[in-house]
Amino acid sequence: MGLDRLSLVTGNNCDGEVHLLVGSGGTASCSLTVGRVRRLLAHGAVPVLVGVSSAAHGAAIAKELQGQSSVRVLQRDFMLSDLTTLGRALTGGVVDRVFVNLAVDKINEVEAIFAQCRKLRIPINTYQQPEFSTFSLTPTYTDPQGSGLQISVSTNGRGYLLAERVKREIVAGLPANISQVVSNMGLVRDQLIAQDNNRLLAEKYWDTGLAVPGLGYGLNEDNWESHKFNRLIHEFDQTAKDQQQRRTRWLSQIMAYYPLAKLATVTLQDLENGAQQPDTIAETSHPEHHETQLQNQTGPKTLTRGTASADSAAAHGQISLVGSGPGSVSMLTLGALNEIKTADIILADKLVPQTVLNLIPPTTECFIAKKFPGNAENAQQELLARGLSALQEGKKVVRLKQGDPYIFGRGGEEYSFFAANGYEALVLPGISSSLASTVVAKIPATQRGIADQVLVCTGTGRKGALPEVPDYVASRTTVFLMALHRADLLTEVLLQKGWDADVPLAIIERASCPDQRVTRTLLKYLPQVVQEIGSRPPGLLVVGHAVNHLIPQELVQFAGDHKYHIEEGFQDIDIQPQFL
Protein backbone atom coordinates (compact mmCIF):
# COMPACT_ATOMS: atom_id res chain seq x y z
CA MET A 1 0.00 0.00 0.00
CA GLY A 2 1.49 3.33 -0.99
CA LEU A 3 1.37 6.67 0.76
CA ASP A 4 -0.77 9.53 -0.52
CA ARG A 5 2.06 11.98 0.12
CA LEU A 6 5.69 11.69 1.09
CA SER A 7 7.18 14.19 3.51
CA LEU A 8 9.69 16.72 2.19
CA VAL A 9 12.96 15.97 3.98
CA THR A 10 15.01 19.15 4.41
CA GLY A 11 18.09 20.38 6.21
CA ASN A 12 17.24 23.35 8.42
CA ASN A 13 19.59 26.05 9.66
CA CYS A 14 18.41 26.58 13.25
CA ASP A 15 21.18 28.92 14.39
CA GLY A 16 19.69 31.52 16.75
CA GLU A 17 16.11 30.36 16.26
CA VAL A 18 13.77 30.20 19.28
CA HIS A 19 12.22 26.76 19.58
CA LEU A 20 9.32 26.53 22.02
CA LEU A 21 8.81 23.25 23.88
CA VAL A 22 5.32 22.95 25.32
CA GLY A 23 5.10 20.39 28.14
CA SER A 24 7.58 17.79 29.30
CA GLY A 25 5.63 14.60 28.77
CA GLY A 26 4.00 12.21 31.20
CA THR A 27 4.76 11.92 34.87
CA ALA A 28 7.13 8.96 34.55
CA SER A 29 10.14 10.64 32.97
CA CYS A 30 11.31 13.86 31.35
CA SER A 31 14.29 12.28 29.54
CA LEU A 32 12.71 12.87 26.12
CA THR A 33 12.44 16.59 26.81
CA VAL A 34 16.02 16.81 28.10
CA GLY A 35 17.31 14.91 25.09
CA ARG A 36 15.42 17.17 22.70
CA VAL A 37 16.73 20.31 24.39
CA ARG A 38 20.29 19.04 24.05
CA ARG A 39 19.74 18.20 20.40
CA LEU A 40 18.37 21.67 19.71
CA LEU A 41 21.32 23.26 21.48
CA ALA A 42 23.71 21.20 19.37
CA HIS A 43 22.09 22.68 16.25
CA GLY A 44 22.35 26.27 17.48
CA ALA A 45 18.71 26.80 18.48
CA VAL A 46 17.57 28.61 21.65
CA PRO A 47 15.15 26.29 23.50
CA VAL A 48 12.36 27.77 25.63
CA LEU A 49 10.44 25.30 27.79
CA VAL A 50 7.02 26.19 29.15
CA GLY A 51 4.26 24.18 30.82
CA VAL A 52 6.45 21.65 32.61
CA SER A 53 4.25 18.69 33.50
CA SER A 54 5.16 18.61 37.19
CA ALA A 55 7.39 20.20 39.81
CA ALA A 56 9.48 17.02 39.81
CA HIS A 57 10.01 17.41 36.08
CA GLY A 58 11.00 21.03 36.54
CA ALA A 59 13.61 20.13 39.17
CA ALA A 60 14.98 17.22 37.12
CA ILE A 61 15.25 19.34 33.97
CA ALA A 62 16.99 22.16 35.83
CA LYS A 63 19.49 19.67 37.26
CA GLU A 64 20.19 18.02 33.91
CA LEU A 65 20.60 21.31 32.07
CA GLN A 66 22.47 23.30 34.69
CA GLY A 67 25.12 25.47 33.13
CA GLN A 68 23.16 25.82 29.89
CA SER A 69 22.51 29.55 30.07
CA SER A 70 20.79 29.69 26.68
CA VAL A 71 17.94 27.44 27.88
CA ARG A 72 14.89 29.18 29.37
CA VAL A 73 12.51 27.20 31.59
CA LEU A 74 9.27 28.99 32.47
CA GLN A 75 7.59 27.47 35.53
CA ARG A 76 4.01 28.19 34.47
CA ASP A 77 1.28 26.88 32.20
CA PHE A 78 1.43 27.44 28.45
CA MET A 79 -0.60 30.27 26.92
CA LEU A 80 -1.41 30.72 23.24
CA SER A 81 0.10 34.18 23.44
CA ASP A 82 3.49 32.52 24.07
CA LEU A 83 3.60 31.73 20.38
CA THR A 84 3.87 35.42 19.52
CA THR A 85 5.76 36.82 22.51
CA LEU A 86 8.60 34.43 23.34
CA GLY A 87 10.35 34.59 19.96
CA ARG A 88 13.15 36.76 18.62
CA ALA A 89 12.91 40.47 17.98
CA LEU A 90 13.85 39.65 14.37
CA THR A 91 10.55 37.75 13.94
CA GLY A 92 8.42 40.21 15.93
CA GLY A 93 8.28 37.87 18.91
CA VAL A 94 6.89 34.91 16.96
CA VAL A 95 8.69 31.67 17.84
CA ASP A 96 10.39 29.78 15.02
CA ARG A 97 9.31 26.23 15.83
CA VAL A 98 7.09 24.41 18.34
CA PHE A 99 7.40 20.99 19.96
CA VAL A 100 4.41 19.75 21.95
CA ASN A 101 4.60 16.95 24.52
CA LEU A 102 1.79 17.57 26.99
CA ALA A 103 0.79 15.33 29.86
CA VAL A 104 -2.37 13.24 29.44
CA ASP A 105 -4.52 15.57 31.58
CA LYS A 106 -3.81 18.44 29.13
CA ILE A 107 -4.01 16.56 25.87
CA ASN A 108 -7.21 18.38 24.92
CA GLU A 109 -5.17 21.59 24.45
CA VAL A 110 -3.23 20.14 21.52
CA GLU A 111 -5.79 20.88 18.83
CA ALA A 112 -5.97 24.57 19.73
CA ILE A 113 -2.17 24.88 19.76
CA PHE A 114 -1.98 23.17 16.38
CA ALA A 115 -4.67 25.41 14.87
CA GLN A 116 -2.94 28.57 16.09
CA CYS A 117 0.45 27.42 14.78
CA ARG A 118 -1.08 26.77 11.37
CA LYS A 119 -2.55 30.26 11.30
CA LEU A 120 0.80 31.77 12.23
CA ARG A 121 2.69 29.43 9.88
CA ILE A 122 4.82 28.10 12.72
CA PRO A 123 6.13 24.57 12.13
CA ILE A 124 4.81 22.28 14.88
CA ASN A 125 5.63 18.76 16.00
CA THR A 126 3.32 16.98 18.45
CA TYR A 127 4.70 13.89 20.14
CA GLN A 128 3.00 10.69 18.91
CA GLN A 129 0.29 12.68 17.11
CA PRO A 130 1.18 13.11 13.43
CA GLU A 131 -2.29 14.52 12.72
CA PHE A 132 -1.28 17.56 14.81
CA SER A 133 2.18 17.93 13.29
CA THR A 134 3.49 19.77 10.24
CA PHE A 135 6.98 18.27 10.52
CA SER A 136 8.68 15.31 12.15
CA LEU A 137 12.19 14.50 13.33
CA THR A 138 13.93 11.55 11.73
CA PRO A 139 16.56 9.18 13.11
CA THR A 140 19.79 10.98 12.29
CA TYR A 141 23.45 10.02 12.44
CA THR A 142 25.73 12.99 13.03
CA ASP A 143 29.43 12.40 12.54
CA PRO A 144 30.99 12.66 16.02
CA GLN A 145 34.25 13.88 14.48
CA GLY A 146 32.58 17.03 13.25
CA SER A 147 32.95 16.62 9.49
CA GLY A 148 29.40 17.83 8.94
CA LEU A 149 28.09 14.49 7.69
CA GLN A 150 24.50 13.80 8.68
CA ILE A 151 22.41 10.83 7.58
CA SER A 152 18.67 10.88 8.21
CA VAL A 153 16.17 8.15 7.40
CA SER A 154 12.40 8.40 7.25
CA THR A 155 9.78 5.71 6.79
CA ASN A 156 7.04 8.37 6.68
CA GLY A 157 5.36 7.14 9.82
CA ARG A 158 5.69 3.43 9.07
CA GLY A 159 7.96 2.82 12.04
CA TYR A 160 10.56 4.92 13.83
CA LEU A 161 12.41 1.83 15.06
CA LEU A 162 12.64 0.50 11.51
CA ALA A 163 14.00 3.83 10.31
CA GLU A 164 16.53 3.76 13.15
CA ARG A 165 17.67 0.30 12.10
CA VAL A 166 17.98 1.32 8.43
CA LYS A 167 20.08 4.27 9.55
CA ARG A 168 22.40 1.99 11.53
CA GLU A 169 22.76 -0.35 8.57
CA ILE A 170 23.70 2.54 6.29
CA VAL A 171 26.24 3.94 8.73
CA ALA A 172 27.79 0.50 9.27
CA GLY A 173 28.47 0.23 5.54
CA LEU A 174 30.46 3.45 5.34
CA PRO A 175 34.27 3.32 5.16
CA ALA A 176 36.11 3.83 8.45
CA ASN A 177 37.61 7.11 7.22
CA ILE A 178 34.30 8.68 6.17
CA SER A 179 34.95 11.70 8.41
CA GLN A 180 38.21 12.40 6.60
CA VAL A 181 36.46 11.89 3.25
CA VAL A 182 33.80 14.52 3.96
CA SER A 183 36.23 17.00 5.51
CA ASN A 184 38.76 16.63 2.71
CA MET A 185 36.20 16.99 -0.08
CA GLY A 186 34.87 20.13 1.59
CA LEU A 187 38.38 21.55 1.81
CA VAL A 188 39.23 20.79 -1.83
CA ARG A 189 35.87 22.13 -2.97
CA ASP A 190 36.37 25.41 -1.11
CA GLN A 191 39.90 25.83 -2.43
CA LEU A 192 38.86 25.10 -5.99
CA ILE A 193 35.79 27.32 -6.05
CA ALA A 194 37.68 30.18 -4.42
CA GLN A 195 40.35 30.01 -7.10
CA ASP A 196 37.94 29.57 -10.01
CA ASN A 197 35.51 32.22 -8.83
CA ASN A 198 38.29 34.77 -8.48
CA ARG A 199 39.45 33.95 -11.99
CA LEU A 200 35.95 34.02 -13.45
CA LEU A 201 35.10 37.32 -11.79
CA ALA A 202 38.37 38.85 -12.90
CA GLU A 203 37.55 37.94 -16.51
CA LYS A 204 33.90 39.07 -16.26
CA TYR A 205 32.86 35.55 -17.16
CA TRP A 206 30.24 35.13 -14.45
CA ASP A 207 27.41 36.64 -16.49
CA THR A 208 27.69 34.03 -19.25
CA GLY A 209 25.69 31.49 -17.26
CA LEU A 210 28.41 28.84 -17.59
CA ALA A 211 30.11 29.39 -14.25
CA VAL A 212 30.42 27.10 -11.24
CA PRO A 213 26.72 26.84 -10.18
CA GLY A 214 24.95 23.76 -11.51
CA LEU A 215 27.65 21.21 -10.66
CA GLY A 216 26.21 20.00 -7.34
CA TYR A 217 28.09 22.16 -4.86
CA GLY A 218 25.20 24.16 -3.42
CA LEU A 219 22.54 23.48 -0.82
CA ASN A 220 19.81 22.21 -3.15
CA GLU A 221 21.18 18.71 -3.34
CA ASP A 222 17.89 17.17 -4.45
CA ASN A 223 17.62 19.04 -7.73
CA TRP A 224 21.11 20.09 -8.79
CA GLU A 225 21.60 19.83 -12.52
CA SER A 226 23.33 16.46 -12.57
CA HIS A 227 22.47 16.02 -16.25
CA LYS A 228 25.09 18.70 -16.99
CA PHE A 229 28.13 17.34 -15.17
CA ASN A 230 28.79 14.83 -17.93
CA ARG A 231 28.31 17.47 -20.61
CA LEU A 232 30.43 16.77 -23.66
CA ILE A 233 33.73 18.65 -23.81
CA HIS A 234 35.74 18.51 -27.01
CA GLU A 235 39.13 17.62 -25.62
CA PHE A 236 41.20 19.00 -28.44
CA ASP A 237 39.07 22.07 -29.16
CA GLN A 238 38.51 23.62 -25.74
CA THR A 239 37.92 27.29 -25.17
CA ALA A 240 39.68 29.13 -22.36
CA LYS A 241 36.38 29.13 -20.48
CA ASP A 242 36.11 25.33 -20.78
CA GLN A 243 39.60 24.96 -19.38
CA GLN A 244 38.83 27.25 -16.47
CA GLN A 245 35.91 25.09 -15.43
CA ARG A 246 37.59 21.77 -16.09
CA ARG A 247 38.88 21.17 -12.57
CA THR A 248 35.47 21.93 -11.08
CA ARG A 249 33.82 19.39 -13.36
CA TRP A 250 36.47 16.82 -12.53
CA LEU A 251 35.94 17.27 -8.81
CA SER A 252 32.21 16.69 -9.24
CA GLN A 253 32.95 13.43 -11.03
CA ILE A 254 35.56 12.35 -8.50
CA MET A 255 32.93 12.75 -5.80
CA ALA A 256 30.48 10.70 -7.85
CA TYR A 257 32.76 7.95 -9.18
CA TYR A 258 35.93 7.36 -7.19
CA PRO A 259 36.13 4.74 -4.40
CA LEU A 260 34.73 6.48 -1.34
CA ALA A 261 37.63 5.72 0.97
CA LYS A 262 40.15 7.19 -1.49
CA LEU A 263 38.47 10.60 -1.42
CA ALA A 264 40.12 11.28 1.94
CA THR A 265 43.47 11.87 0.24
CA VAL A 266 42.51 13.68 -2.98
CA THR A 267 44.15 17.11 -3.15
CA LEU A 268 43.76 20.19 -5.28
CA GLN A 269 47.16 19.35 -6.72
CA ASP A 270 45.74 16.05 -8.00
CA LEU A 271 43.24 18.02 -10.06
CA GLU A 272 46.01 20.29 -11.28
CA ASN A 273 48.05 17.28 -12.35
CA GLY A 274 45.05 15.80 -14.11
CA ALA A 275 44.71 18.98 -16.11
CA GLN A 276 48.22 18.57 -17.48
CA GLN A 277 49.67 16.18 -19.99
CA PRO A 278 51.30 13.08 -18.48
CA ASP A 279 55.03 13.62 -18.14
CA THR A 280 55.81 10.86 -20.65
CA ILE A 281 53.67 12.30 -23.42
CA ALA A 282 54.47 15.27 -25.64
CA GLU A 283 51.92 18.03 -26.20
CA THR A 284 49.94 17.46 -29.41
CA SER A 285 46.42 17.94 -30.65
CA HIS A 286 45.99 14.44 -32.08
CA PRO A 287 45.54 11.33 -29.91
CA GLU A 288 47.15 9.15 -32.57
CA HIS A 289 50.38 11.12 -32.05
CA HIS A 290 50.29 10.41 -28.32
CA GLU A 291 50.58 6.69 -28.87
CA THR A 292 53.42 7.05 -31.35
CA GLN A 293 55.25 9.41 -29.04
CA LEU A 294 54.88 7.06 -26.08
CA GLN A 295 56.09 4.07 -28.04
CA ASN A 296 59.12 5.99 -29.27
CA GLN A 297 60.02 7.02 -25.74
CA THR A 298 60.09 3.42 -24.55
CA GLY A 299 62.50 2.46 -27.32
CA PRO A 300 61.97 0.33 -30.44
CA LYS A 301 60.57 -3.14 -29.82
CA THR A 302 60.13 -4.92 -33.15
CA LEU A 303 59.53 -8.29 -31.55
CA THR A 304 57.64 -11.50 -31.88
CA ARG A 305 54.48 -11.09 -29.82
CA GLY A 306 54.90 -12.27 -26.26
CA THR A 307 58.71 -12.25 -26.39
CA ALA A 308 60.76 -9.62 -24.58
CA SER A 309 63.58 -7.90 -26.43
CA ALA A 310 66.91 -9.66 -26.29
CA ASP A 311 68.61 -6.59 -24.86
CA SER A 312 65.98 -5.99 -22.17
CA ALA A 313 67.50 -6.21 -18.74
CA ALA A 314 64.17 -6.09 -16.97
CA ALA A 315 62.14 -9.18 -16.18
CA HIS A 316 59.25 -9.82 -18.57
CA GLY A 317 55.93 -8.84 -17.02
CA GLN A 318 52.45 -10.06 -17.86
CA ILE A 319 49.48 -8.00 -19.01
CA SER A 320 45.79 -8.93 -19.05
CA LEU A 321 42.79 -6.95 -20.24
CA VAL A 322 39.94 -7.99 -18.00
CA GLY A 323 36.24 -7.21 -18.33
CA SER A 324 34.61 -6.61 -14.93
CA GLY A 325 31.04 -6.75 -16.21
CA PRO A 326 28.36 -4.13 -15.58
CA GLY A 327 28.81 -3.83 -11.81
CA SER A 328 27.42 -6.76 -9.88
CA VAL A 329 30.00 -9.12 -8.39
CA SER A 330 27.69 -11.99 -9.36
CA MET A 331 28.37 -11.11 -13.03
CA LEU A 332 32.15 -11.20 -12.64
CA THR A 333 33.75 -14.20 -14.35
CA LEU A 334 35.95 -16.64 -12.43
CA GLY A 335 38.78 -15.75 -14.78
CA ALA A 336 38.42 -12.06 -13.95
CA LEU A 337 38.36 -12.82 -10.23
CA ASN A 338 41.56 -14.85 -10.54
CA GLU A 339 43.33 -12.01 -12.35
CA ILE A 340 42.22 -9.49 -9.74
CA LYS A 341 43.51 -11.67 -6.90
CA THR A 342 46.90 -12.37 -8.52
CA ALA A 343 47.81 -8.95 -9.92
CA ASP A 344 50.76 -6.83 -8.82
CA ILE A 345 49.10 -3.66 -10.08
CA ILE A 346 45.56 -2.98 -11.28
CA LEU A 347 44.72 -0.14 -13.65
CA ALA A 348 40.97 0.36 -13.36
CA ASP A 349 38.43 2.40 -15.26
CA LYS A 350 36.82 5.11 -13.15
CA LEU A 351 33.40 3.46 -13.59
CA VAL A 352 34.39 0.06 -12.20
CA PRO A 353 32.04 -0.06 -9.18
CA GLN A 354 33.13 -0.16 -5.57
CA THR A 355 31.78 -3.69 -5.11
CA VAL A 356 34.32 -4.99 -7.62
CA LEU A 357 37.16 -2.80 -6.36
CA ASN A 358 36.53 -4.20 -2.87
CA LEU A 359 37.77 -7.57 -4.17
CA ILE A 360 41.27 -6.19 -4.79
CA PRO A 361 43.67 -7.38 -2.07
CA PRO A 362 44.80 -4.49 0.18
CA THR A 363 48.44 -5.13 -0.73
CA THR A 364 47.81 -4.75 -4.47
CA GLU A 365 48.56 -1.38 -6.02
CA CYS A 366 45.47 0.09 -7.66
CA PHE A 367 45.30 3.13 -9.92
CA ILE A 368 41.96 4.60 -11.01
CA ALA A 369 41.81 6.28 -14.42
CA LYS A 370 41.25 10.03 -14.52
CA LYS A 371 38.98 9.90 -17.55
CA PHE A 372 36.97 13.03 -17.01
CA PRO A 373 35.44 15.30 -19.66
CA GLY A 374 38.21 16.95 -21.62
CA ASN A 375 40.88 14.55 -20.39
CA ALA A 376 39.96 11.13 -21.79
CA GLU A 377 42.85 10.83 -24.25
CA ASN A 378 45.47 12.11 -21.81
CA ALA A 379 44.18 9.79 -19.07
CA GLN A 380 44.28 6.85 -21.48
CA GLN A 381 47.93 7.54 -22.26
CA GLU A 382 48.69 7.83 -18.56
CA LEU A 383 47.25 4.34 -18.04
CA LEU A 384 49.29 2.93 -20.91
CA ALA A 385 52.46 4.54 -19.57
CA ARG A 386 51.89 3.16 -16.08
CA GLY A 387 51.13 -0.30 -17.44
CA LEU A 388 54.20 -0.39 -19.66
CA SER A 389 56.45 0.82 -16.85
CA ALA A 390 55.16 -1.91 -14.53
CA LEU A 391 55.61 -4.56 -17.22
CA GLN A 392 59.22 -3.52 -17.71
CA GLU A 393 59.69 -4.05 -13.97
CA GLY A 394 58.47 -7.63 -14.37
CA LYS A 395 55.09 -7.09 -12.73
CA LYS A 396 51.75 -8.66 -13.50
CA VAL A 397 49.50 -5.86 -14.77
CA VAL A 398 45.72 -6.17 -14.87
CA ARG A 399 43.85 -3.59 -16.91
CA LEU A 400 40.41 -3.79 -15.28
CA LYS A 401 37.74 -2.52 -17.64
CA GLN A 402 34.06 -2.02 -17.14
CA GLY A 403 31.83 -4.32 -19.14
CA ASP A 404 33.71 -6.12 -21.93
CA PRO A 405 37.13 -4.91 -23.14
CA TYR A 406 36.15 -5.04 -26.80
CA ILE A 407 32.71 -3.39 -26.62
CA PHE A 408 33.51 0.33 -26.88
CA GLY A 409 36.23 -0.10 -24.28
CA ARG A 410 39.37 0.65 -26.32
CA GLY A 411 40.44 -2.92 -25.68
CA GLY A 412 41.68 -3.36 -29.23
CA GLU A 413 43.76 -0.18 -29.01
CA GLU A 414 45.30 -1.28 -25.72
CA TYR A 415 46.05 -4.75 -27.04
CA SER A 416 47.81 -3.23 -30.05
CA PHE A 417 49.81 -0.82 -27.91
CA PHE A 418 51.19 -3.49 -25.60
CA ALA A 419 51.80 -5.87 -28.50
CA ALA A 420 53.83 -3.18 -30.26
CA ASN A 421 55.95 -2.94 -27.13
CA GLY A 422 56.53 -6.68 -26.87
CA TYR A 423 53.80 -7.80 -24.52
CA GLU A 424 50.90 -9.94 -25.68
CA ALA A 425 47.87 -9.34 -23.49
CA LEU A 426 45.63 -12.04 -22.15
CA VAL A 427 42.10 -10.79 -22.85
CA LEU A 428 39.25 -12.02 -20.66
CA PRO A 429 35.71 -11.14 -21.75
CA GLY A 430 33.22 -9.49 -19.44
CA ILE A 431 29.46 -9.29 -19.55
CA SER A 432 28.77 -6.12 -21.53
CA SER A 433 26.36 -3.62 -20.02
CA SER A 434 24.80 -3.36 -23.46
CA LEU A 435 23.17 -6.76 -22.95
CA ALA A 436 23.22 -7.23 -19.19
CA SER A 437 21.30 -3.99 -18.73
CA THR A 438 18.36 -5.26 -20.74
CA VAL A 439 18.08 -8.33 -18.52
CA VAL A 440 18.25 -6.47 -15.21
CA ALA A 441 15.73 -3.94 -16.58
CA LYS A 442 13.20 -6.65 -17.52
CA ILE A 443 13.66 -6.07 -21.22
CA PRO A 444 13.79 -9.11 -23.54
CA ALA A 445 16.19 -7.75 -26.15
CA THR A 446 14.74 -10.25 -28.60
CA GLN A 447 11.11 -11.32 -28.34
CA ARG A 448 9.17 -13.36 -30.86
CA GLY A 449 6.80 -11.16 -32.83
CA ILE A 450 8.33 -7.94 -31.38
CA ALA A 451 12.11 -7.80 -31.78
CA ASP A 452 14.16 -10.08 -34.00
CA GLN A 453 17.50 -8.24 -33.88
CA VAL A 454 19.73 -6.25 -31.52
CA LEU A 455 22.04 -3.39 -32.48
CA VAL A 456 24.66 -1.89 -30.15
CA CYS A 457 25.81 1.64 -31.01
CA THR A 458 27.84 4.38 -29.39
CA GLY A 459 26.54 7.88 -28.92
CA THR A 460 30.04 9.36 -28.79
CA GLY A 461 32.55 8.80 -31.55
CA ARG A 462 36.17 9.83 -31.86
CA LYS A 463 36.90 13.31 -30.53
CA GLY A 464 33.34 13.50 -29.23
CA ALA A 465 31.63 13.49 -32.61
CA LEU A 466 28.15 12.02 -32.95
CA PRO A 467 28.51 8.88 -35.10
CA GLU A 468 26.25 8.10 -38.02
CA VAL A 469 22.97 6.96 -36.48
CA PRO A 470 21.27 3.83 -37.83
CA ASP A 471 18.01 3.73 -39.72
CA TYR A 472 14.85 2.96 -37.78
CA VAL A 473 13.77 -0.68 -37.81
CA ALA A 474 10.57 -1.39 -35.89
CA SER A 475 11.57 -4.98 -35.08
CA ARG A 476 14.99 -4.03 -33.69
CA THR A 477 16.15 -3.33 -30.13
CA THR A 478 18.82 -0.63 -30.32
CA VAL A 479 21.23 0.05 -27.47
CA PHE A 480 23.06 3.38 -27.36
CA LEU A 481 26.11 3.54 -25.10
CA MET A 482 27.69 6.83 -24.00
CA ALA A 483 24.76 8.89 -25.26
CA LEU A 484 22.94 10.33 -22.25
CA HIS A 485 25.06 13.47 -22.08
CA ARG A 486 23.81 14.45 -25.53
CA ALA A 487 20.25 13.14 -25.33
CA ASP A 488 18.82 16.29 -26.89
CA LEU A 489 21.07 16.14 -29.96
CA LEU A 490 20.65 12.37 -30.37
CA THR A 491 16.86 12.66 -30.20
CA GLU A 492 16.85 15.44 -32.77
CA VAL A 493 19.00 13.45 -35.21
CA LEU A 494 16.98 10.24 -34.77
CA LEU A 495 13.70 12.01 -35.41
CA GLN A 496 15.17 13.72 -38.47
CA LYS A 497 16.16 10.30 -39.77
CA GLY A 498 12.61 9.01 -39.49
CA TRP A 499 12.56 7.27 -36.12
CA ASP A 500 9.14 6.82 -34.55
CA ALA A 501 8.72 9.57 -31.94
CA ASP A 502 6.49 7.26 -29.87
CA VAL A 503 8.84 4.27 -29.77
CA PRO A 504 9.39 3.09 -26.16
CA LEU A 505 12.74 3.84 -24.60
CA ALA A 506 14.51 2.94 -21.35
CA ILE A 507 17.27 4.89 -19.64
CA ILE A 508 19.24 2.32 -17.64
CA GLU A 509 21.75 3.69 -15.14
CA ARG A 510 24.13 1.85 -12.80
CA ALA A 511 22.93 -1.47 -14.24
CA SER A 512 23.17 -4.36 -11.74
CA CYS A 513 24.38 -2.05 -8.92
CA PRO A 514 22.29 -1.52 -5.75
CA ASP A 515 21.43 2.02 -6.90
CA GLN A 516 20.31 0.91 -10.35
CA ARG A 517 17.68 3.16 -11.92
CA VAL A 518 15.49 2.32 -14.91
CA THR A 519 13.43 5.12 -16.43
CA ARG A 520 10.94 4.24 -19.15
CA THR A 521 9.61 6.88 -21.50
CA LEU A 522 9.12 7.61 -25.21
CA LEU A 523 11.78 8.84 -27.61
CA LYS A 524 10.09 12.23 -28.06
CA TYR A 525 10.25 12.87 -24.31
CA LEU A 526 13.88 11.84 -23.83
CA PRO A 527 15.55 15.30 -23.58
CA GLN A 528 12.92 16.59 -21.16
CA VAL A 529 13.11 13.47 -18.98
CA VAL A 530 16.92 13.52 -18.78
CA GLN A 531 16.85 17.16 -17.73
CA GLU A 532 14.24 16.47 -15.07
CA ILE A 533 15.64 13.30 -13.47
CA GLY A 534 19.34 14.18 -13.85
CA SER A 535 22.19 11.76 -14.42
CA ARG A 536 23.44 8.72 -12.53
CA PRO A 537 26.42 7.46 -14.60
CA PRO A 538 27.16 5.12 -16.13
CA GLY A 539 24.01 4.92 -18.18
CA LEU A 540 22.75 3.83 -21.57
CA LEU A 541 19.65 3.94 -23.72
CA VAL A 542 17.60 0.99 -24.94
CA VAL A 543 15.11 1.83 -27.70
CA GLY A 544 12.52 -0.48 -29.18
CA HIS A 545 9.11 -2.05 -28.75
CA ALA A 546 10.47 -4.80 -26.49
CA VAL A 547 11.26 -2.22 -23.78
CA ASN A 548 7.83 -2.38 -22.12
CA HIS A 549 6.77 -5.90 -23.07
CA LEU A 550 7.16 -7.37 -19.55
CA ILE A 551 5.91 -4.28 -17.69
CA PRO A 552 2.29 -3.73 -16.58
CA GLN A 553 0.93 -1.59 -19.37
CA GLU A 554 -0.89 0.83 -17.09
CA LEU A 555 2.53 2.00 -15.84
CA VAL A 556 3.85 2.88 -19.28
CA GLN A 557 0.95 4.71 -20.89
CA PHE A 558 2.70 8.05 -21.33
CA ALA A 559 0.73 11.19 -22.09
CA GLY A 560 0.13 14.61 -20.58
CA ASP A 561 2.01 15.05 -17.31
CA HIS A 562 2.84 11.33 -17.10
CA LYS A 563 5.94 11.23 -19.28
CA TYR A 564 8.07 8.60 -17.54
CA HIS A 565 8.09 5.74 -15.05
CA ILE A 566 11.04 5.03 -12.73
CA GLU A 567 12.07 1.76 -11.08
CA GLU A 568 14.81 1.98 -8.43
CA GLY A 569 17.25 -0.64 -7.15
CA PHE A 570 18.57 -4.05 -8.10
CA GLN A 571 18.18 -7.20 -6.04
CA ASP A 572 21.37 -9.20 -6.49
CA ILE A 573 22.07 -12.75 -5.35
CA ASP A 574 23.93 -13.24 -2.09
CA ILE A 575 27.42 -14.56 -2.84
CA GLN A 576 29.10 -16.27 0.10
CA PRO A 577 32.53 -14.89 1.06
CA GLN A 578 34.28 -18.23 0.52
CA PHE A 579 33.62 -17.94 -3.20
CA LEU A 580 35.40 -14.60 -3.37
The residues assigned a catalytic role are: 349, 371
Q: Are 505 and 523 in contact (CB under 8 A)?
A: yes
Burial of 577 (0-12, 13-18, 19+ CB in 10 A): exposed
Long-range Cβ contact pairs of 482-485 (< 8 A, separation 24 or more): 482/408, 482/458, 482/540, 483/458, 483/459, 483/540, 483/541, 484/227, 484/230, 484/459, 484/509, 484/530, 484/535, 484/537, 484/539, 484/540, 484/541, 485/227, 485/230, 485/231, 485/232, 485/460, 485/535
* Cα angle 264, 268, 270; round to 5: 80
The two beta strands, 517-522 and 18-22, are unpaired
DSSP assigned state of 325:
B
Q: Residue 239, exposed/middle/buried by CB under 10 A (0-12, 13-18, 19+)? A: exposed
Contact yes or no for 85/93 (Cβ under 8 A): yes
CA distances 466 to 228, 238, 351, 457, 489, Å, are 18, 17, 22, 11, 9
| Cβ–Cβ < 8 Å for 38, 116 | no
Task: Please state, in angstroms and as integers, the Cα–Cα distance from residue 560 to each residue in 525, 555, 563, 564, following that order.
Answer: 11, 14, 7, 10
d(CA 460, CA 489) in angstroms, rounded, equals: 11
The three-state secondary structure class of 399 is strand
Q: Are 322 and 336 in contact (CB under 8 A)?
A: yes
Q: Which long-range contacts (CB under 8 A, 24 or more apart) does 411-418 make?
A: 411/321, 413/291, 414/321, 414/384, 415/321, 417/291, 417/294, 417/295, 417/384, 418/319, 418/384, 418/387, 418/388, 418/391
| 153, 167 contact by CB (below 8 A) | yes
Helix (H) or strand (E) holding 381: helix 376-392
CB 415 within 8 A of CB 321: yes
H or E element: which one contains 293?
A: helix 287-297
Is there a cis peptide before residue 538, judged by omega within 30 degrees of 0?
A: yes
- Alpha carbon distance 7, 224 (integer Å): 19
**Cα–Cα distance, 249 to 102 (Å, whole number):** 52
CA 200 vs CA 106, 118, 203, 211, 358: distances in Å: 60, 45, 5, 7, 40
Q: Which residues pair with 19 in a beta bridge?
A: 47, 97
Distance CA 540, CA 520 (A): 12
In a 10 Å sphere around its CB, with 0-12 CB exposed, 13-18 middle and 19+ buried, how is residue 94 labelled?
middle
